[in-house]
Structure 1
Amino acid sequence: MLKGNIQYVLSILFLGLWHMQLSGQGDETENGFVKFFYPNDQVSSEGMMRDGKPDAYWRTYYVTGVIKSEGKRTNFLLDSLWNFYNQAGELTEQISYKIGERNGYSNKYIYNNPQNPGQPTLISSELYVMGKKEGSSLYYHSTGELKLILFYKDGKKQGLSREFSKDSTLITVVQYKDNYVTDRERVNRTDEGGNKQGTFRDYYENGRIKKEEHYLDNQLHGYYREFDGKGDLLMAMRYERGTIVEEIDEDMKELLDMKSTFDQKGRLIFTGGYIEGVPVGIHRFFDTTGVVENAYLYNELGQKVSEGIIDEQGRRKGSWTDLYTSGETRAKGSYLNNQRSGTWTYFFQKGGIEQKGRFERDRYMGIWNWYYPNGNKWREESYFNGREDGMFVEYDPGGNILTKGDYIGGEKEGEWIYMVGDHKETGSYVIGLREGIWKYYYPNGAVKYEGFYSQGNPDKRHKYYYPDGTLKEEQYYVMGIREKNWKKYDQEGNLVMTITYKNNEEQRINGVKIKLPESDIKLIR
């Protein structure tokens, strides 16, 4: 059964068919290829008719002659992929159909991405099964970064949704049940000074919580928890202003067996807790003067997850080793005054360095390097006081540069180079915003695109080229607003379309006003 969502598809066609039937011309259009026309003799739609109804492949057009939609029908019902276009002939939506229902992914595109003006940017991708949303639907920022993940079951929002900032940081989690919000939480937020505040959380791909932390003024404050992919708790500790608090839950106190060991002179050399013989929490070892010389940290399953010094005030100090629950080394480094300090090295579970760099007062400092599992360098960047400052280089697994540039105070600055898919991008930033001339290049070195930016906005004339250097498209902006004539050319250099803009609105296409009435459609025999 055809639903309301197909009003996108052939609304003009149905008007034309209705007009045709009222005119008593149905006998002549029972079968075969037909065309419908606007009053200006421009084709409005065309396709095959069978038994007086549209079937097989159909196209509809704007009054200017620009294609509006195209797709096929099977046994009169919408089928396979349908494409929809704006009045400039740009693809804006793709919908997959089966037996007249949305079935598969429906994608929407926009063309106002300041990073790639005039080119398609995916803005949403929704999965349908027999007319209803199902599974994960993805939504994107206008600049292309993932913004929101929603999960649907039988057409209704269900379970956990996640919202991301433009730098890919998770910032909001919402729990749904049958389309209704049951819980909403802001996470991974910092204040104006860059200090962590509130809940910080990481998730596994299956949506389960991987790690949960609570911060107050950039210090751990509250419970710190780690979970496995099944949702089982691996480790739990409570902090107050960055200091571990040795506090046992009331329901566990009766189960906890605290043990102490003394040497022959009666001096305490060990303390630790057990539940039914399983070590839990902090286990401390003391020297002959009563000072903690080492400690083990166990999760509630009795797995050792860290080793180092935790003094009796709960402060970490000296050399530390963090472990995977299966026993492999996860990280090595040092603490000073309960904050990470000096060189820290992080490892993949299967071995090999994953990340290495230096901390000062628990903040990134100096050069940090990230690696692929094969040992090749993935990323190299410089920090000052926890913010990017200095050079940044990213490599592919084969060692080729993907991205290169500089940061100042956490913002991109100066000349940057990107390798994006099949092309290279070069240009400059000022305080994190594009500024001046940007150029894209084909693999053969020919210019693919060039345009001017002002304070991050496309400005003045922008040009696109075919691989052989022939002009493909001309655009004009005034501080991000589309203005004047935009022109498109074929590969032979012939002008094929002119779109006139005023204050970001389309006024004319090929000299024709775009707001001509489309409802008055006639069939020309």
Structure 2
Amino acid sequence: MKKLLNLSIFIFLSLSLICQTIDPNGYNIFYHANGVKSSEGYLKDGKPDAYWKSYNENGVLVSEGNRKDGLLDGEWKFYNSEGELYMSLNYKNDKKDGIKTTFKPNGDRILESFIDDLKQGNEKHFDKDNHLIKEIPFVDGVEEGIAKEYDSEGTIISILEYKRGYILRREHINRKDQSGFKQGLWKIFYANDILKEEGFYLNDKKDGFFKYYDEEGNLISLEKYNNGEIVEGVEETRVLETRVDYYKNGRQKVIQTYYQGKPHGVRREYSPKGEVIESYLFYEGELLGIGIIDLDGKKQGPWKELYKRNVLKAEGNYVDSRPVGKWKYYLPNGQLEIEGTYDNQGRRVGEWFWYYENSKPLREANYELGKLEGEFVEYDEDGNVLSKGVYQDNEQEGNWTEVHGDFVEEGKYFEGLRNGAWKGTYKNGNKSYETTFNDDNPDGSYKSYWFNGKLKESGRYILGRKHGVWQYFDESGEMFLRVTYRKGVEISYDSTKIIPELPETLED
């Protein structure tokens, strides 16, 4: 066990060391060949006991901790060649038991919990400002359950489901684009992780149905939004007054409903023959739309939808309240925001375009029967590509390029999952990482790099689990930690550069 862990108090002895007498039941100091102290502590019956310290050949403290009856016991601390703490770890009866903390060179840290040598509970990752950025549940040494990733504001941005160490599901939520606009699916949770609210955003505006739940997970309300504006659909809760004007022949000319004295709901205007010739949609006095609403309450023909104060919001045609043909959507400042085409079932088809407030392109996408199909590209406000690839049946497929902050990722998708070789490149041209994926799980050799091109970490995955020896390096390229894994379970820690092995004479 001691050789395997390499995390005890290591006493380096060799034929080249300065001759010294070992007291098997007392305090001892050992030295490197250059005369510098290598370790110090007590022996009891020839075995390390009580508090021990080890030093590198430059005299820098590299490890310290306690032993009880020769076994690792209590907190152990490990330092790099500069004397900086990089890991603390708790032991009980020679087994990991309690909290392990790893300190990264960039200020990040990782907290893990062990019981009887097995990782249990949530592994937590914090950035240098102490923000929780990731937590992964472990059961008996392997990932099991729901993992979460967070942004610096504490908002969940990814949910991953693990089963016996393998990723079953990955969901990206609560994302913002380069302009800070909310896009796609957003979910809010109670403190007990029960879903509280969910719905979709389009360019920072609620779009579609939003669902709200109580703390037991029961659906309690439902709202529909169109481009940021709530669509009122519970009119039976309001007491409305209906006013009717008539032609001289007795036919209805205008029908308008009011709420608290203000136009509210549908206003219909009729021809002398009784046909609907124009309709207006009001909400508490504000005009929201102009078009035809037939006697069945369905929108028909050309329509204009409005922001407050009669500012054009959208224009296009309806058939039985389904958008059809060419539609255009506008920002409150009048700039074109989105344009595209619907088929006769109200599904997006063909090319669709999104624009920034300065009219520069934001996104170009292709649809077929309402699903993403074909080329897709997204830009920042300077016209640089942020994401580019192909969709097939609403899933990412084939070669993709994606920009994430200061680096670019390139690789292939198959049915929406990363597969095959992937690599990341910093904007200065240096590599960020390189590996292969199998159904969204890293599989095979993995290497990541610092911005300056120096190796950051290297190792190997087997279907999403770290396996074998992993090495970790600081920004200068110096290795500060080596960890051995067996299918995701840590087996040993070994910083060979600074920690010598326990001599055979003291291992028995």
With structure 1 as the length reference, what TM-score do the two structures score?
Answer: 0.59
- Which residue of 2 is the match for residue 344 of structure 1? 327
Check the 8 A contact 1:64/1:509 in 2, yes or no.
no
Distance 2:374 2:273 in 1: 47
CA distance in 1 between counterparts of 2:269 and 2:494 reads: 80
Alignment partners' CA distance in 1, 2:431 and 2:201 = 43
Kindly indicate whether residue 287 of structure 2 is the aligned counterpart of residue 304 of structure 1: yes
Q: Distance in 1 between matches of 2:383 and 2:304?
A: 30
Query: Aligned partners of 2:428, 2:388: CA distance in 1, in Å?
Result: 20
Residues 121-165 of structure 1 deviation map (CA, whole Å, 9 limit, x = unaligned): 994578xxxxxxxxx74344367987689xxxxxxxxxxxxxxxx
SS of aligned partner of 2:308: coil
Q: CA deviation at 1:505?
A: 2.2
Alpha carbons 1:417, 1:425 under 8 Å: kept: yes
CA RMSD of aligned residues (A): 4.6
**Paired residues of 1:328 and 1:349 also in contact (CA < 8 A):** yes
Contact 1:93 1:108 in 2 (8 A): no
Cα separation, 1, equivalents of 2:400 and 2:450: 24
> Could you say which structure has the greater relative contact order, defined with CA pairs below 8 angstroms and 6 or more residues apart?
2
Distance between the aligned counterparts of 1:366 and 1:273, measured in 2? 39
- Given candidates 242, 257, 264, the residue that maps to 1:280 is 264
2:102 to 72, 83, 86: 86
- 2:78 aligned residue: 62
Deviation at 1:427, TM superposition (A): 0.6
Offset of 1:267 from its aligned partner?
Answer: 3.1
Q: Secondary structure at the match of 1:340?
A: strand
Read off the aligned partner of 2:419 and give its amino acid letter.
Answer: E
Partner residue in 1 for 2:424: 440
Cα deviation 1:189-213 (Å, max 9, x = unaligned): xxxxxxxxxxx899999xxx99866
Q: Is the 8 A contact 1:434 1:456 kept in 2?
A: yes
CA contact (8 A) 1:331 1:344 kept: yes
2:130 to 80, 98, 106: 106
Q: Which of these residues, 232, 236, 252, is aligned with residue 236 of structure 1?
A: 232
What's 2:495 paired with? 510
Contact 1:482 1:502 in 2 (8 A): yes
Q: Which residue of 2 aligns with 1:484?
A: 468
Q: Which runs of 5+ in 2 are unaligned?
A: 1-26, 28-38, 42-50, 56-60, 65-75, 88-99, 112-127, 137-146, 161-169, 176-181, 213-220, 502-508
**Percent sequence identity over matched residues?**
27
Q: Distance in 2 between matches of 1:280 and 1:111?
A: 49
Structure 1 residues 102-501: aligned runs within 5 Å: 106-110=130-134, 123-124=149-150, 137-141=154-158, 168-171=184-187, 174=190, 185=196, 187-188=198-199, 236-238=232-234, 248-249=236-237, 252-253=239-240, 256=241, 258-275=242-259, 277-300=261-284, 302-360=285-343, 361-465=345-449, 471-489=455-473, 495-501=479-485
* Cα offset, 1:287, TM superposition: 2.2
Please name the residue that 2:54 is paired with: 41
Of stretches 273-282 and 488-497 in structure 1, the one that deviates more from structure 2 is 488-497
C-alpha separation between the residues in 1 aligned to 2:377 and 2:411? 15
Whether the aligned pair in 2 keeps the contact of 1:470 and 1:493 (CA below 8 Å) is: yes
Q: How much has 1:449 moved relative to structure 2? A: 2.0
- For the pair shown, the structure with the greater C-alpha radius of gyration is 2
- Report the Cα distance in structure 2 between the residues aligned to 1:432 and 1:180, rounded to whole angstroms: 30
Greater shift after overlay, 258-267 or 86-95? 86-95
Deviation at 1:227, TM superposition (A): 11
For the residues of structure 2 that align with 1:500 and 1:320, how far apart are their CA atoms? Answer: 65
Q: Any gaps of 5 or more consecutive residues in structure 1?
A: 1-22, 24-34, 47-59, 71-83, 96-103, 113-120, 127-135, 150-165, 189-199, 216-221, 239-246, 517-525
Describe the shift of the 1:63–1:142 C-alpha distance in structure 2 as closer, same or farther (beyond 3 A).
Answer: farther
How many angstroms does 1:318 deviate by? 0.6
**For 1:313 and 1:418, how far apart are their aligned partners in 2?**
47
Q: Is the 1:235–1:298 Cα contact (8 Å) retained in structure 2?
A: no
- CA contact under 8 A between 2:331 and 2:357: conserved in structure 1? yes
- Quick check: 1:105–1:125 contact (8 Å CA) kept in 2? no
Deviation string for 1:203-238 (max 9, x for gaps)? 999xxx9986689xxxxxx98667999xxx976334
Shift in CA distance, 456/322, structure 1 to aligned 2, threshold 3 Å = same
**Aligned residue-pair number:** 374
In structure 1, what is the Cα distance between the partners aligned to 2:350 and 2:198?
27
